[in-house]
Structure 1
């Protein structure tokens, strides 16, 4: 059920970003033209409010009908040790990106900066929190305090930076690669590539991408789009807490060692390239949820240091 919820969250994010012009930051703000005077654009604002309300209502009704049929008394459960905490990073990243998408949508509607920050962030938290409450009434799951902490952390990362610095110095990104593990448990890890992108935690990476020009005292000629990203993933996982006994086609037992992976890689914030038109920035911004493939340095306790020229290898 968790992967379906993540899919809905990502769809919500895609709808947000596909309608928002991504703005280059922290470049100097251009003077407001007579055509773009500050103030709420009533048509856009009404459309955003109505669209958000309809999407929220319809999505939750569909979730309740399709995936939350068996209701039990509200309860909680502790999944903080599952999947080497990859699920928690997924919650934080989704909440961060939804907060940013909501903010951009509000700004596009003409809402002022502070109100857009608060509204976008609270919309993301409301959506994620509602799903967690649904989990609390769901058989086989439960309300996860760890998930809620991760949701708040992702929202807080966006809100704190936008309120404090007026820009996103640190952004959260997602990466994916195919792995060898889903065929051993396809119902859990996914049968298709689309399912595996949401269910196979071995193939996912979550990145903190720092904009160097915003974080360091560099000169005006330094590329303002250049970022440095630190990533995290896990490998060898075919079960949440531990791996069950697994056998290959010949009937031989297959054992996988679970371990954490840490990455360092250059990245690019394409929304800071002012040579792009606003419409092109908006289009490119929809892909900024994903980490751009680039050379990376990996460390894990099993294989030590490894250098990857571009794409991470299939494991």
Structure 2
């Protein structure tokens, strides 16, 4: 249930930032000076717009959830889903919290709020959204408050906040990738009937990437591309149920069995927000919108098929 909501929150956040990036006054190409908002303090119009937009989005989201998803309220309870979906959902929670923290931070900086306050606000806004969803799940029939989800939410937020406080940049970021798989037709109500729904619910098709900026961690020279990243990815396959796969049979009554296994990847990537010819406002938007992994050659390892090379996009499983 929360997968739908987390996806909607991310889309809304990126849309807001895109609108701001288009409206912002760009600096001359190649300039590395602070943006106008950094020099002039709080930009009142932008700041008020961000506050109103964020409050409206939060309120509308809660009202829609209460009407569509949480119609039947039960006493607050918790449940342990830490072993479901090969922990793909937990990685997803961390990645979403990271992206929301970064988005909230960029909104505040674009509004002229100082660095430390922007970092704190971004992290708190992300935790507010995520915690609200978990509390709602705690009152939902068939669901429950998940301590594992909350730990993942805090971890994703801490990854952003800790780096921004400590080094003033995101040396390591979390990204998302997706490919179509063969599994949704077997359980469309669980894994999704359409591609859009499958992007949120089919954990077999999702990949989450830990993206490291090489120029920030290696002793490289001035000619080294500052935008070059190296990503380590994680995914799972063969899953048509949370804890285990339910019995499935073909038209002839023969059992259909899928082996559940983990997948690990390594792939080059690009952090386009580090391209200096872009304006600071555009760099802020790109830094948030880069939640999606850029397709690139990758090397995969898993216990079923050992080592595999993928020229560009990951193949349909």
**Alignment TM-score, normalising by the size of structure 1:** 0.94
| Aligned equivalent of 1:114 | 116
| Aligned equivalent of 2:9 | 9
1:130-141 aligned at under 5 Å gives the runs 130-141=132-143
| Aligned equivalent of 2:219 | 217
Match of 2:154 among 148, 152, 158: 152
Q: Secondary structure at the match of 2:267?
A: strand
Q: Give the C-alpha shift of residue 279 in structure 1.
A: 5.8
Q: 1:286 to 1:112 in 2, by over 3 A?
A: closer
Q: 1:285 to 1:167 in 2, by over 3 A?
A: closer
Contact (CA 8 Å) 1:9, 1:94: kept in 2 or not?
no
| Aligned equivalent of 2:292 | 290
Q: Give the C-alpha shift of residue 18 in structure 1.
A: 1.9
Q: Secondary structure at the match of 1:208?
A: strand
Q: Secondary structure at the match of 1:37?
A: helix
1:37-76 aligned at under 5 Å gives the runs 37-76=39-78
Q: 1:31 to 1:123 in 2, by over 3 A?
A: closer
Contact (CA 8 Å) 2:99, 2:288: kept in 1 or not?
no
User: Which range is displaced more, 274-283 or 81-90?
Assistant: 274-283
1:211-250 aligned at under 5 Å gives the runs 211-250=213-252
Q: 1:283 to 1:42 in 2, by over 3 A?
A: closer
Aligned residues: 312
Structure 2 CA distance for aligned equivalents of residues 159 and 170 of structure 1: 12
Contact (CA 8 Å) 2:31, 2:277: kept in 1 or not?
no
Structure 1 CA distance for aligned equivalents of residues 124 and 222 of structure 2: 36
Structure 1 CA distance for aligned equivalents of residues 10 and 253 of structure 2: 38
5+ residue gaps in structure 1?
none
Structure 2 CA distance for aligned equivalents of residues 93 and 62 of structure 1: 24
Structure 2 CA distance for aligned equivalents of residues 145 and 132 of structure 1: 9
Residues 72-105 of structure 1 show CA distances to partners (whole Å, capped at 9, x for unaligned) of 0000000000000000011000000000000000
Q: 2:207 aligned with 1:205, yes or no?
A: yes
| Aligned equivalent of 2:188 | 186
Residues 8-60 of structure 1 show CA distances to partners (whole Å, capped at 9, x for unaligned) of 2322332343245499xxx9941666x97330001100111111111111110
Q: 1:166 to 1:36 in 2, by over 3 A?
A: closer
Structure 1 CA distance for aligned equivalents of residues 19 and 119 of structure 2: 17
Q: Give the C-alpha shift of residue 282 in structure 1.
A: 5.5
Structure 2 CA distance for aligned equivalents of residues 175 and 48 of structure 1: 29
5+ residue gaps in structure 2?
none
Contact (CA 8 Å) 1:93, 1:173: kept in 2 or not?
yes
Q: 1:58 to 1:208 in 2, by over 3 A?
A: same
Q: Give the C-alpha shift of residue 217 in structure 1.
A: 1.2
Q: 1:111 to 1:282 in 2, by over 3 A?
A: closer
Q: 1:132 to 1:31 in 2, by over 3 A?
A: closer
Q: Secondary structure at the match of 1:167?
A: coil
When the two chains are superposed, the root-mean-square deviation of aligned CA atoms in Å is 2.1
Q: 1:36 to 1:168 in 2, by over 3 A?
A: closer
